[in-house]
Amino acid sequence: MRILLPPSETKLKGGRPNAGLPTLKFSSQDPGRSDLMAALESWCRDSPEAAAKALKLGPKSIDELANNVFRDAELMPAIDRYTGVLYSATGVADWTPNQRDWAAAHVFIHSALFGIISSADPIPAYRLSYDTRLSGLPLKDFWLDSLGSAITEMAAGDWVLDARSGG
């Protein structure tokens, strides 16, 4: 069995130092990931007011735009980075190495920025939701072509419990 989770808008800051960009599972999505990271970085840098509005950042959260710089960003496993209700309920902080190994092979997350990733994939903190439009293109349309092959690879012939919302 494979479990496919939604991401969380809330994320834990910090992580381990990193040089370059993160290396993630399902490399067929890498070109899209690189394009999205570059577009998001440039949008937040060049049009911060528009980016803040589109990312639904209020005045108290405007500093989150700085999270959208990815080269050399601090990384931590996705299962630790996301901190929403679902992720808090996992009790991941108390998982044993064996539990983390099992999750790395069986628990996956559908990220707006990275596509399908393993729960163990190291990711930076970022702000981007699936309903955001980058350069006028909805992210759902952006990921449409590459998600099918990533989900097929993730499933590895097993069945998938898809816990994402239908939104």
Domain boundaries, given as residue ranges, for the chain: 2-14+26-162
Angle formed by the axes of helices 139-155 and 30-46, to 10°? Answer: 150
What's the pLDDT band for 75 if we cut at 50, 70, 90? Answer: very high
Confidence band, pLDDT 50/70/90 cuts, at residue 134: confident
- Residue environment code for 87-104, b if the CB has 16+ CB neighbours within 10 A, otherwise e: beebebeeeeeeebeebb
Q: What is the value of pTM for the model shown?
A: 0.92
Range with lowest mean pLDDT among 113-117, 132-136, 145-149? 132-136
Instruction: From residue 137, give the alpha-carbon distance in Å to each of 29, 100, 111, 131, 134.
Output: 17, 36, 16, 10, 5
Tokens representing 122? Answer: 């190291």
| pLDDT, the chain, mean | 92
| Cα–Cα distance for residue pair 130/113, rounded to 1 Å | 8
Is 166 a residue whose pLDDT tops 70?
Answer: no
* Band of residue 121 on the pLDDT scale cut at 50, 70, 90: very high
Residue 162's pLDDT is 94
Band of the pLDDT at 30, cuts 50, 70, 90? very high
Q: Output DSSP code: residue 126.
A: -
Over range 14-39, report the average pLDDT: 91
